[in-house]
Amino acid sequence: MDNCHCSANVDRLSNPILFNILSQMDNSKPRQNSFNYNSIPHRCNCELRRTVCLKRPSEICKEASAVLVKTIHFMKNLPAFNQMPPNDQFSLLKSCWAPLFILGLAQEHVDFEVMDTPADSMLKKILLNREESPGMEREQPTMAGVSKLKSCLKKFWSLDLSPKEYAYLKGTMIFNPDVPDLKAALFVEGLQQEAQHALSEVVQLLHPGDQERFARILLTASMLQSITPSLISELFFRPVIGQTDLMELLVDMLFCR
């Protein structure tokens, strides 16, 4: 990148005269068996911190919206989920919608590419600052977050889960007894155990010779919690919904009978 702000480069360039003097002093006293630090390529963290956006937003956002609709439809059609108090349904929705959506991306094989976020003009910044308060600023997707998401998707694609495996895995994601303030926490815990047991059985049925597959699925699923809902909402849905709160839309979709 042209403008790297990593500390190593900043320290090196902030006082070039001092850096050259120290370099000459070091070179004047050669040491045996000295380690050549210049031989190690410096990995710039700016590459991971840079903000990105979708390359084909109109196409990918449409596919992502379809996945989101299927995700909410899946939850609405679970009888056990509908039997829970509305507040518990809301809490579980808030906790699980992003992991479920990522599983949907994997199941539908939605692949995407990103590019650097175009720099806003000074006029646009002034206009946006007038319309939005500082508290409304949102976290922009970064290359690090997108890389984590794409790595997770690739791991699921390598597992090549069947529709039943995806369905039961989604059940383990939805019925999470660790969500705070659940009134029916014991009921939710029992449902999660049932979903895990059903997933284990279908894995043994479809892959009888693979004794480690069930553990690999759960291990891969643990990656889902490391991907923030803000990354998902900003990357796939902000170009479509604008300033609308995505969570409000999800609630409307879930409770609209």
Is residue 232 in some structural domain? yes
Tokens encoding 61:
């956002």
Contact 88, 183 (CB under 8 A): yes
pLDDT of residue 140: 87
pLDDT tens per residue, range 166-187: 999 999 999 999 999 999 999 9
Q: What is the share, in percent, of the chain residues with pLDDT greater than 90? A: 70
Q: What is the pLDDT of the chain when averaged over all its residues?
A: 84
Is 11 inside any structural domain? no
pLDDT attached to residue 44: 53
Residue 28, pLDDT > 70, answer: no
Residues 6+ apart with CB under 8 A from 235: 53, 54, 114, 141, 146
Q: How many domains does the chain have?
A: 1
pLDDT in tens, 117-171: 887 644 555 555 544 444 445 778 999 999 999 999 999 999 999 999 999 999 9
- Tell me if 47 is assigned to some domain: no
The answer to whether residue 31 is domain-embedded is no
pTM: 0.78
CATH code: domain of residue 225 = 1.10.565.10
Q: Which domain holds residue 217?
A: 52-255
Residue-wise pLDDT tens digits, 90-111: 999 999 999 999 999 999 999 9
Q: Is residue 5 part of a domain?
A: no
Q: Which residues of 240-254 are buried (b: 16+ CB within 10 A; e: fewer)?
A: eeeeeebeeebbebb
Could you tell me if residue 228 is inside a domain?
yes
Residue 62 within a domain: yes
